[in-house]
Amino acid sequence: MANLNAVERKVREYSFTDRDFERVRKLIHERAGISLSASKQDMVYSRLARRLREKGLTTFADYLRQLEAGDAHEWQAFTNALTTNLTSFYREAHHFPILAKHLAQRRRVCREPFTVWCCAASTGEEPYTIAMTVVEALNDDAPSARILATDVDTNVLATADAGIYDLERIESLTPERTRRFFLRGDGNHAGNVKVRPALRKLITFRQLNLLDAQWPVRGPFDAIMCRNVMIYFDKDTQRRILEKFAPLLRSDGLLFVGHSESLLKHTDLFKLRGKTVYELAARTQVRHG
Ligand SMILES: C[S@@+](CC[C@H](N)C(=O)[O-])C[C@H]1O[C@@H](n2cnc3c(N)ncnc32)[C@H](O)[C@@H]1O
C-alpha cells in the first residue's frame, strides 16, 4: 500500500487530465497508427512525464500545446516515448526454419540476392536473427542477401544500428551462434556483446512509418516480416498496410506476422501457408521482372 501511495503521488507530479489523455490517444493514432486503449492512461503518463521534466513544463496541456505547434524533434520524441518495443532474438522461433527453407528453395531457381524486409525492427534482435538465419542456411558469412530493417522509433533504431546488447540478451543462443555472430566486450564493455561486422553488413536500418502514404522501399522482397506491430493498429489501418505489402512481395514471397495476428479477414490478399506465415492469394500476385 505504501508503495502504491508513492506511485500515486508521483503520478500527480504533473497535471494530466482525462482530456489530455484523449488528446494523446488521438495524436499518436494519427501519427503512428497506434491505438492506445483507455486502460493505458498511467503508462502514457509515465512515458511522457520525462518529456515535461526535460522541457521544464508542469502540465500536459502545455506540453501538448507545444507539441502541436509543430516541433519536429518533439514529435519524434513523443512517438518514441509511446511505442512498445518488446522483442528478442529468435522470438517466435518457428518462423526461422521456414525462412531458411524458403531461401534454400529460392536459391535453387534464382541467383539474385535474397531480400527480406523487417518492418518493425525495434532494437534489432529480429533483423539480426534473420541475418543469422540467412548465413546459416547458405553456410556463407557474406551471403548474397539484402535485409532492410525499419521502424518508426528512432531510439530503437539507434540501438539496432549499434548492434550492442547485454550479454543476457543472447543467453538462449547456442554457443556456436554466440561465437559465430557476436564479439564479447571486455574491460569497460564486459557484460556486453557486439554483433560481428560481417553480420551487421547484411542489414540496412532506416526509419519508416508504416502509416506513411509513400514507403521509400524497393521491392520485390522474398519475405516481409511484420510481426507484433499490427496489433497496435485498428482494422482499417491493418488493411491499408496489407494492401501495400502485396505488390512488394515476389509472387512466391512469404509474409510473416506475429502469433496473435491473424489475416483471416484478408483472404482476398493473403492465404495461410503455415502457422502465422502467409503467401499471396492468387488474385494479388504481381509479376516482378
Ligand atoms: C512490440 S515491437 C515488435 C518488434 C519485433 N517485430 C518483434 O516481433 O519482436 C513493435 C515495434 O513496432 C514499431 N512500430 C509501432 N508503430 C509503427 C509504425 N507506425 N511504423 C513502423 N513501426 C512501428 C515500434 O516502434 C516497435 O519497435
Query: Which residue, judged by its Cα, is nearest atom 3 of ligand 1?
Result: 228
pLDDT attached to residue 11: 52
Query: Cα–Cα distance between 61 and 67 in angstroms, integer?
Result: 10
What pairs with residue 116 in β-bridges?
147, 223
Catalytic site positions: 47, 151
Closest Cα to atom 7 of ligand 1: 87
Q: Whose CA is nearest to atom 26 of ligand 1?
A: 85
CA dihedral (197, 202, 205, 211) in degrees, to 10, reads: -160
**144 near 243, Cβ under 8 Å?**
no
pLDDT given at position 282? 81
Q: Does residue 222's CB lie within 6 angstroms of at least one atom of ligand 1?
A: no
Q: Is 32 in the pocket of ligand 1 (CB under 6 A)?
A: yes
Residue 183: predicted pLDDT: 98
* Nearest CA, atom 9, ligand 1: 87
Angle at 133 (CA atoms; ends 132, 136), nearest 5 degrees: 85
Cβ of 211 closer than 6 Å to ligand 1, yes or no, is: yes
Cα of 120 from ligand 1 centre, angstroms: 4
pLDDT the model gives residue 287: 54
Cell numbers placing 40: 493505458
Closest ligand 1 atom to 258 CA: 8
Name residue, grid cell 518462423. Answer: 95
CB of 60 closer than 8 Å to CB of 52: yes
Going by their DSSP bridges, the two strands 182-184 and 249-257 should be labelled as unpaired
Cross-strand bridge partners of residue 280 = 270
Q: Which domains does the chain have, with CATH numbers?
A: 2-82 (1.10.155.10), 95-284 (3.40.50.150)
Supply the pLDDT for residue 288.
Answer: 58
Peptide bond into 197 cis (omega under 30): no
Ligand 1: centre distance to CA 87 (Å): 9
User: Could you report the average pLDDT of every consecutive run of 10 residues in the chain (289 residues)?
Assistant: 48 86 97 95 95 95 94 94 97 98 92 96 98 96 96 98 97 97 94 98 98 95 98 94 96 96 90 95 66
Whether the CB-CB separation of 134 and 145 falls below 8 Å is answered with: yes
Atom of ligand 1 nearest to the CA of 87: 9
- Ligand 1 contact via 76 beta carbon (within 6 Å): no
